[in-house]
Amino acid sequence: MIRAIAASILLLAAATPALALEDAEYAAAVTATAKSALIPGYQSLERATQDLRGSLDGLCKQPSEGSLDQARAQFAATAAAWARVQYISFGAVSEQERGFRIEYWPDKRNVVGRQLADVLAKQDAAALEPQRFATTTVGVQGLPALDRLLFEDGALAKFAPDAPGAAFRCDLLGAIGVNLSTIAHEIVAGWTEGESPFLAEIEHPSEDNEDLPTGRDAAGRLLNDLLTATIAMRDMKLLAPLGDSLEKAKPQGAEYWRSGQSIAILAANLEGWRALFGTGQGLGGLLATQPDGKALADELAATVDQASSALKQITVPLDKAVADPAQRKLVEAFAAQLIKLRDLLAGPITAKLNLPIGFNALDGD
């Protein structure tokens, strides 16, 4: 399905006459996005992971309902911070598989469950050393592993000091917390520090940059990532658990269904999407400067508002909603709004900005 969508978008883009936009304008738009939304988003993620480390440590030092609730709340905050920048595929997040290490999902083959069970069974303390853990299988490194450890049935009892394997389980929690905060720090540093930070490469494009040699390339990559996000939110995060019918719903296909965070994550995805497209600056600002572009920018903003309103109508966790006749209709209504957002972005907005659309990041084969 995704390949067919991408192919139709390519045809649309090919049929659109070029507009006169300077490469410097594209570079300025992506630079503005990086400064106003992307880097602050990664910085928020870094702060959230640091707080998460503290809450996980607190849970293991003094297991209680209160400390578990605190760890769960900080997990939710970290997952939401990640969701706001989840579909950006360029920059420091693309190195060393950082995105996959933060969240390996969807997990159709239960990779996280199998690998987590294997680590817990072996109880190899050396495997949890930071440098070694950072290169271990992605299934145990990030948020999905924490989702299982913190929200599985009887989770608190498994952290009790006298519970079998409790000490190693706590060490594993600590290793995941350190790993996530390290990854987040590396992403922020990659954008802002060193001799050639990604921000400088975006702000001053160069042919030496094989990935994004021009400002237009960077703007096209950003737009592709935003398009990928609209497709992923609908096709992967909604249609997968919805299934073909009420009887064929797949509640456990929902992202973070154990913790009940699926709806909150979608809201964060949408919030991040709005910030990354931009209004006064960014692609949104560039769009508004084009002939008839302001009307398109206003239509896009209204569509995002409608999608947000539709999402708020869903009043139970997504895994419950897809199996409930009334709530299921609300999920389908939200999915319909995402189609409008996708088509608006892929069609008239892409044409107005004269940006190339290629196969998105979800099209793996």
- Amino acid identity at 158: K
Whether residues 193 and 50 fall in one domain: yes
Q: What is the pLDDT of residue 203?
A: 97
Mean pLDDT by 10 residues, the chain (365 residues): 44 46 96 98 98 98 98 98 98 97 96 97 97 96 98 97 97 98 98 96 94 96 97 98 97 98 98 94 95 95 98 98 98 98 96 83 44
- Amino acid identity at 48: A
Distance CA 339, CA 352 (A): 19
- Amino acid identity at 154: G
Whether residues 106 and 216 fall in one domain: no
Distance CA 58, CA 73 (A): 13
Whether residues 242 and 192 fall in one domain: no
Q: What is the pLDDT of residue 11?
A: 42
Q: What is the pLDDT of residue 357?
A: 84
194 Rama sector, left if φ>0, alpha if ψ -120 to 50, beta otherwise: left
Burial string for 46-73 (b: 16+ CB within 10 Å, else e) reads bbbbbbbbebbbbbbeebeeebbebbbe
Whole-structure pTM value = 0.93
Whether residues 161 and 215 fall in one domain: no
> Could you list the residue range(s) of the whole structural domain that residue 235 is in?
2-28+209-353
Which of 202, 232, 257 lies at the terminal end of a domain, its last residue?
Answer: 202
Whether residues 56 and 185 fall in one domain: yes
Does some domain include residue 194? yes
CB atoms within 10 A of CB 336: 13
What residues contact 224, with CB distance under 8 A and at least 6 apart?
A: 89, 357, 358, 360, 361
Does some domain include residue 362? no
Which of 181, 202, 223 lies at the terminal end of a domain, its last residue?
Answer: 202
CB atoms within 10 A of CB 125: 12
Whether residues 273 and 337 fall in one domain: yes
Q: What is the pLDDT of residue 15?
A: 37
**CATH label of the domain that carries residue 66:** 1.20.1420.20
Which of 176, 202, 228 lies at the terminal end of a domain, its last residue?
Answer: 202
How many separate domains does the chain show? 2
Does some domain include residue 358? no
- The DSSP annotation for 62-116 comes to S-SHHHHHHHHHHHHHHHHHHHTTTT--SSGGGGGGHHHHH-----TT-HHHHHH
